[in-house]
Structure 1
Amino acid sequence: MVMHPGEPHDAGVAGRLNWLRAGVLGANDGILSTAGLVVGVAGATTSTGAILTAGVAGLVAGAVSMALGEYVSVSSQRDAERALLAKERRELAEFPEQELAELVELYEEKGLSTATARQVALELTAKDAFAAHADVELHLDPDELTNPWQAAAASAVAFTAGSLLPLTAILLPPPPVRVAVAFAVVIAALTGTGYLSARLGGARPGRAVLRLVLGGTAGLAVTYGIGALVGTAVG
């Protein structure tokens, strides 16, 4: 078979791309949520301490929330996958002939002739019947189920990395220009994450970047305006 450059024919490559895409999206969440928080506070006050406190609190809360949500989600998915695999093991032990016939039918549905499908099913069953059924019937690899702890850690790290950009951008410059600098840094970061996520997903980056930048800019403007109104009302 001819392999074309850049095509991920290996399942491990596809899995790594999914992880990278999830990491980019997690970083993007960190950028947007933390930027909105610190810019909103900066609209209400010039106090560096208040902005730092809000930013760090938002970073920690967001990272914990992302990690917990990812852990629960992946754990539920993993439990469901394990239940399906256990059911398949029982069926193979109790009804081997029926399972073989089912495997033949699955290969026929993929376009193989009955004779070829049966030969393939027999050879794969002789080698590892469970692996064959897990792959063709369940589309699962029993040895590569997603680890919820890894998913949670990756989500927290990605969110934290994204959050540090707007937090640093608004704390380092002097008060008169800190909001403008934060806006510029956030827009640049959103441009980068939008382009990367679009490329990973095989989409055209132009529209994805434009949507993300316009949405992010609008969100920052709204939070800054609300912060300024609240700061004026309280003051």
Structure 2
Amino acid sequence: MPHSLPRASHHEAHRSQHVGWLRAAVLGANDGLISTASLVVGMAAAGTSTHTLLLTALAGLVAGALSMAAGEYVSVSSQADTEAADRAREEAELAERPDFELEELKQIYVQRGLSPELAGQVAHQLTARDALSAHLRDELGLTEHGQARPLQAALASAAAFAAGALPPILLVLLWSLPGLTGAITASTLVLLAVLGALAARLGGAPVLRGAARVLFWGAMAMAATALLGHLFGAAPVA
């Protein structure tokens, strides 16, 4: 009895499909957690009141989230503008020099290992189906899942920053002041390790390395702000 053929509708999930939102989300969460925790640790080391700590943390959340959103929007918009310009140029070249573009596509496939005859057939068929998509993908490396989306990146960054900033703010609300610095430092390091490991796993990188590099920079940031608080604060507290 003959075996049935594999279904043509099979889809494989690849990590590269998540690069855009993953990069923005991880960057935003790391920044929100590290910057907010560092602000609170520095201010607590300077001997400020709980009310001032809470106000500082909330201001840091709002300013940081908006800053991340604006930065991502401007950055990804520049990428989108470049992609749009490349698309317009390719459309013009296809309209003005279709034979040259067909030969160019053929040579791309030859360089990738196809015979000239097979490369010519592939180029003809893809051009007949969707010439622009073929050139954007194989000549310029532009694909649909990698397309720049400024608004999506901005919203993801802002939301991730806010999520990362929430744990230090909750600790300010729930923890008594004398032990606040230690509680925020410990919890932040644990969360950074988890976040770094998760990001590394989703991206296919070594988990321990991903956790270690995030831990290092988070510890450095909190140590620096705590030192400033002790040096310039009026009455340092634990």
Partner of 1:133: 135
RMSD, matched Cα: 2.2
Distance 1:104 1:94 in 2: 18
Q: Is the 8 A contact 1:30 1:62 kept in 2?
A: yes
How many Å apart are 1:25 and its aligned residue? Answer: 2.2
Matching of residues 1-235 of structure 1 within 5 Å: 9=12, 14-141=16-143, 145-232=147-234
Contact 1:198/1:208 (CA < 8 Å) preserved in 2? Answer: yes
* Whole-Å separation in 2 of the counterparts to 1:50 and 1:162: 20
Q: Percent identity?
A: 48
Contact 1:85–1:142 (CA<8 Å) still a contact in 2? no
Q: Report the CA distance between 1:76 and its aligned residue.
A: 0.7
Q: Number of aligned residue pairs: give it.
A: 228
Provide Cα deviations, 1:19-57, integer angstroms capped at 9, x if missing partner. Answer: 124312210111111111111111112411110111111
- 1:42-92 per-residue CA deviation (whole Å, 9 max, x = no partner) reads 111241111011111111111111100101011111011000000000000
Instruction: Report the Cα distance in structure 2 between the residues aligned to 1:231 and 1:208, rounded to whole angstroms.
Output: 34
Report the CA distance shift for 1:58/1:66 in structure 2 as closer, same or farther (over 3 A): same
C-alpha contact (below 8 Å) 2:46/2:230 kept by paired residues? yes
Give the 3-state SS of the residue equivalent to 2:113 in structure 1.
coil
The answer on whether the counterparts of 2:31 and 2:164 sit within 8 Å (CA) in structure 1 is: yes
2:3 corresponds to which residue? none
The verdict on how the C-alpha distance between 1:233 and 1:182 changes in structure 2, with shifts beyond 3 A counting, is: closer
Are the aligned partners of 1:31 and 1:162 in contact in 2 as well (CA < 8 Å)? yes
The amino acid that maps onto 2:59 is A
Gaps of 5+ in 2: 1-5
Structure 2 residue matching 1:203: 3-state secondary structure: coil
Q: Give the Cα separation in 1 of the matches to 2:145 and 2:221.
A: 43
> Aligned partners of 2:20, 2:147: CA distance in 1, in Å?
13
**Secondary structure of the corresponding residue to residue 232 of structure 1:** coil
CA distance in 2, matches of 1:10, 1:89: 31
Amino acid at match of 1:123: Q
Deviation at 1:144, TM superposition (A): 6.7
Cα deviations by residue, 1:77-129 (Å, 9 ceiling, x for unpaired): 10110000000000000100000000000011111110110000001111111
- Residue identity matched to 2:28: G
The Cα shift of 1:156 comes to 0.4
Offset at residue 221 of structure 1 (A): 2.1
Q: Does the Cα contact within 8 Å between 1:23 and 1:155 map onto a contact in 2?
A: yes
**Cα distance in 2 for residues equivalent to 1:142 and 1:223:** 43
